Chains A and B, each alone.
Chain A
Amino acid sequence: MPNRSIEQKGTWHVIPENLRYTAEHEWISEPRDGVVRVGITDYAQAALGDIVFVQLPEPGKVVTAGEVIGEVESTKSVSDIFAPLSGTVAARNETLDDTPDTINTSPYEEGWMLDIECEDLADVSGLLDAEAYAKLTE
């Protein structure tokens, strides 16, 4: 998997080429059977610092693109999680209840947050690609 990296204050952040992004620093996987996986980017976890608490919606919850659907808290601050697109929550990563710092150590793999069954798969192509997201964080 080719990765793009950006340097921010001497630290390199990974931006995988095969994912989509939002301006709120979330990543969205390619849909598989109509379901996308969602998390926050490497850049976002680094900016937040040590993540100590995550609040996410339960499976079955219907979400609308742009609405606040959860929270992620670090030792020093709280950030909202936004629905990157409309659909229904298919799964949430329950391991984050006990080990929210997984988001720090593995933001794109074990630290995923939600699976969302998309209302309209065309919405995915409207999200930022890796190049556009990299520009946004420069």
Chain B
Amino acid sequence: MTETSQPIQSPLRDRHDALGAKFAEFGGWLMPLEYGGGGVVAEHTAVREAVGLFDVSHLGKIDVSGPGAADFVNDRLSNDLRRIAPGKAQYTLCCDDSGGVVDDLIAYLYGPDRVFLVPNAANNAEVAARLAAEAPADVAVTDEHRDHAVLALQGPHSARVLADLGVPADHEYMSFVTAECAGTSIVACRTGYTGEHGYELLVPADAAGAVWDALMTAGAPHGIRPAGLGARDTLRTEMGYPLHGHELSMEITPVQARAGWAVGWRKPHFWGRDALTEEKATGPRRRLWGLEATGRGIPRADMTVRSGDTVVGTTTSGTFSPTRKIGIALALIDTAAGVDEGTELSVDVRGRALPVKVVKPPFVTPSVK
């Protein structure tokens, strides 16, 4: 992908400025990390207990349209689009022939002739290029990265906020509807990255401000808070959801990351099929586990994990869990180490051995459905 010297601004930049946001760069986009008067913990708690609104406009957007577009995508991405009906979305992976993960993404199935993809910001151009390179002449792969804003409305009160705006909110998990909101046509999908009941809204970029304002106003009686990408990361880590570049990467396969559920193993074709099928049959050399700190301290990404004095793995993400009030981490642990739930290990936190216990994520019970 090409690096731009100036980060790309969200269409909601002025809204974030007015809310006293601190910014950070994500995949070439300058996005809100947390808001003034809020902070990661308050924003995290609002999503778990009420409702939070995230600007995730940096997420990628790729339209794949033309005769047989769905079959074309299905022969390349890992999950099986035939498992879902039009109007539903699916978590899927774009793998390499080696089984490494170019990106994880959401595929919206509109029908046999149209699929809309939402990859990660940093990988949008790469995913689009790989698809375009193999697309039949009458299937168009269009990079629409800057054409749409994406707003994530997440939390137990999210349905009421949409209902108050007259936007349908009762559709089932991972399904999407087109609706009117603040005078514009949006797509509302029952999905998210927080573990809470919620929606991701695809909004035309030039209408993003109006939709943001409508949601913030309608959300006020429901305790809405703007939430930054700092809280999005603590929320997803509590769920054990993978973040590309941490739990999934060109070096970390879905078999290792326990994302095999997002692979259509019976499909005759998808990128990485042979390598992944073999790894699944022989067993991965390492596997993703959750670690809960049993002592005081916070594990972070890329720290060494030990069993006694023996190195058995590396953390891929780590944070303080605002819900559990303990340090938590995801880690790739060597299969040979023979760990299981309850195994006691330690994480090397800048030279200090932090005792941890092996668990199966999530760290907090999800309520997405």
Q: Does A76 contact B (CB under 8 A)?
A: yes
> What residues of chain A lie closer than 8 Å to B297, measured between beta carbons?
53, 55
B48 CB to closest chain A CB (Å) equals 14
List B residues 335-361 near A (Cβ within 8 Å): 350
Instruction: Give the docked Cα–Cα distance between A74 and B44 (Å).
Output: 14
Q: Does A75 contact B (CB under 8 A)?
A: yes
Query: 8 new A-B pairs (CB below 8 Å) besides A11-B36, A75-B40, A76-B40?
Result: A9-B20, A10-B36, A49-B34, A49-B40, A50-B40, A52-B41, A52-B298, A75-B234
A110-129 contact mask (Cβ, 8 Å, vs B): 1 or 0: 00000000000000000000
Q: Does B225 contact A (CB under 8 A)?
A: no
Question: B: which residues have CB within 8 A of A?
Answer: 20, 22, 33-34, 36, 39-42, 230, 234, 296-298, 300, 319-320, 322, 327, 350
Q: Does A67 contact B (CB under 8 A)?
A: no
Q: Does A24 contact B (CB under 8 A)?
A: no
List A residues 27-72 near B (Cβ within 8 Å): 49-50, 52-53, 55, 71
B326 CB to closest chain A CB (Å) equals 10
> B296 touches which one: A10, A53, A74 (CB < 8 A)?
A53
Closest chain B residue to A77, Cβ basis: B300
Closest chain A residue to B34, Cβ basis: A49
Instruction: Give the docked Cα–Cα distance between A74 and B319 (Å).
Output: 9
Chain B interface, DSSP helix/strand/loop, else mixed? mixed
A76, B298: Cβ atoms closer than 8 Å: no
B35 CB to closest chain A CB (Å) equals 11
Q: Does A97 contact B (CB under 8 A)?
A: yes
Q: Which of B230, B234, B320 has most chain A Cβ within 10 Å?
A: B320
Chain A to chain B: the 3 pairs with minimum beta-carbon distance, closest first: A75-B40, A52-B320, A50-B41
B41, A75: Cβ atoms closer than 8 Å: yes
User: Could you name 24 residue pairs across A and B whose Cβ atoms are closer than 8 Å?
Assistant: A9-B20, A10-B20, A10-B36, A49-B34, A49-B230, A52-B298, A52-B322, A53-B296, A53-B297, A53-B298, A55-B296, A55-B297, A73-B298, A73-B320, A75-B39, A75-B41, A75-B319, A75-B320, A75-B322, A76-B33, A76-B230, A78-B300, A97-B296, A104-B39
Instruction: Give the docked Cα–Cα distance between A11 and B21 (Å).
Output: 11
Instruction: Give the docked Cα–Cα distance between A78 and B20 (Å).
Output: 23
A1-26 contact mask (Cβ, 8 Å, vs B): 1 or 0: 00000000111000000000000000
Instruction: Give the docked Cα–Cα distance between A101 and B42 (Å).
Output: 12
